[in-house]
Chains A and B, each alone.
Chain A
Amino acid sequence: MLFRERYEHELRLVRGSQAWVVAGLAGALLLALPFLVKGYLVYNMTLFLVYALVALSLSVLVGLTGQVSLGHAGFLAAGAYVFVLATQHGLPYLLAVLAAVLVSAVLGVVIGVPSLRLEGPYLAIATLGFGLAVQQILTNWRLVGASRGTLVDRPVILGIDFYGDRAYYYLVLALAGFVTWMLFNLERSHVGRAFRATRDADLAAQMSGIGLARYKTLAFVISAAVAGLAGALYGPLVGYITPEGFNLLLSIKFLLMTVVGGLGFLPGALLGAGFITGLDLVLSTFRSWSQLTFGAVVIAVMMLEPAGLYGRWLKIKQFWKSWPL
């Protein structure tokens, strides 16, 4: 199915038999992976899943509604720290995760509402400031270890210990998989179309009865909540969190994932997260050349492929499908 010809096509989550095969293979691979590779790769895969959530959350915000954010490490930090505080106060795991998501969502409102009137560079700098402010507040907040950071334990849920790499991987995979599925559904729903309408022509969207303020804020809230969830998963994964870890560089990396992967496509965010996490892993033995190489790769992607990695994938797919036309 090369083109979407009917409204039902538009509504489908997985389009066409080949897509089913790809999705099935990817799912099977993700499930089998911990038994195929060594522990450190399981760790890196889990980190990829966490970063993929952040990249997805940014993709909803930047890709679907066109609001740029250079402060998503701030939401990640908020999620991670709320999770730690909640578990320290004896909240069970899932409630602690929920608390992290809720607090981040509230922060999303706090940032989203003043951002309604902002666009482009103004919004970029305002969100950048949000990220820095979160970092500074945490650095001076004694309750959560201030600049020394704090240790985070892996959870025990209903007597099941998730300390091991595989166990924790499956926990993250389950939660990340569920949220990814929700976001893919959201994109196809009327909300997703409203998001895209505000991005492409906000005045026209408003004329068509889409409440700009409502949808723009909603995008911020969803994005912040998902990033907060990623934060709650990030803490126990790394085992130790410190304010300096949630810096501007990390926020920039998340934006890189989203754009390099392919802006406006949710699968692109997944590709981008995998690409950047993998690039970091490969470059860790490049010594003094690593930063230059990283920058050069990013430049190359932006210069060669306007729609990012996912765009390239779509083109390759189109080429084979329509071959030899």
Chain B
Amino acid sequence: MTPLLSVRDLHTRYAVGKQVLRAVDGVSFEVGRGETVGLVGESGCGKSTLGKTVLRLVPSAEGTIELDGADITRLGDRAMAPHRRRMQMVFQDPFGSLNPRHTIRALLDTALRVHRVSDAAERDRRVHETIAKVGLPVDSLDRYPHEFSGGQRQRIGIARALILRPALIVCDEPVSALDVSIQAQILNLLVDLKRELGLAYLFISHDLGVVRYFADRVLVMYFGRIVESASYATLWRDPRHPYTKALFAALPSADPTHKRGEPPIKGELVTTEQVRGCRFHSRCPAATDRCRAEEPVLRPLGEGHHAACHYA
């Protein structure tokens, strides 16, 4: 069976002044039906661009994107339209992602009208059904976004993503702008929706703790590339790439008796430098001359476990 989403050797480039920023630089992965794939990395690593490229919101430079086996990489707007219903997005900023000038009803109804659900009663039924699914009262529909709290807005954002009954939702940092107590509500809601509707998620986050909790499989991204991919359990038990290990080590434990060690890596991700060899070598505690000269490729380490490190 073909996977729901299949991405092959995808590249996305931005022009920054006269320089070219390779935000996504040769990424391949798949998302199965009903599967949650977590994409984790630090700010500037290209994870958000990858999500938007997959949704065809940002043009790709090379590579292919297949949805249900159909190549959608170069489809025009019109040909793309039917595929759009199949994959949707939930945004990080619950304030900026809802048009302040439209009521919630208009927000949801327009999406249906654009996709030619012409029967007004049917549209109304689906709008009501969707708003109930995300746990908001029906009277929310005639209000404007600014009348809601951050968590409620994020529910509205999820409703908008659900209204076309997609198979895949790209969640771009859906909880990082929310308070902890609200994060739990939204994560639980996403889990419930996945169970009820058989959704697949591409879950993008900088927080390895949240990703490991929420994903079935995790991709770790660094400087435009996937450096490790594994099931959540394998990654937790046996992280192999030094960067993944560093991310785990940097997570502050809520147990004060659990003493933290020295931060394993120093410095920060710098996206403007062109590097030879491994992209991580300048920050890697175990880097050798080989790492400085030769770029490692993702190689299999066991069942479904890949890492791009010479010494993994």
Q: Do A and B come from one complex?
A: no
Chain B residues close to A by CB (< 8 Å) = none
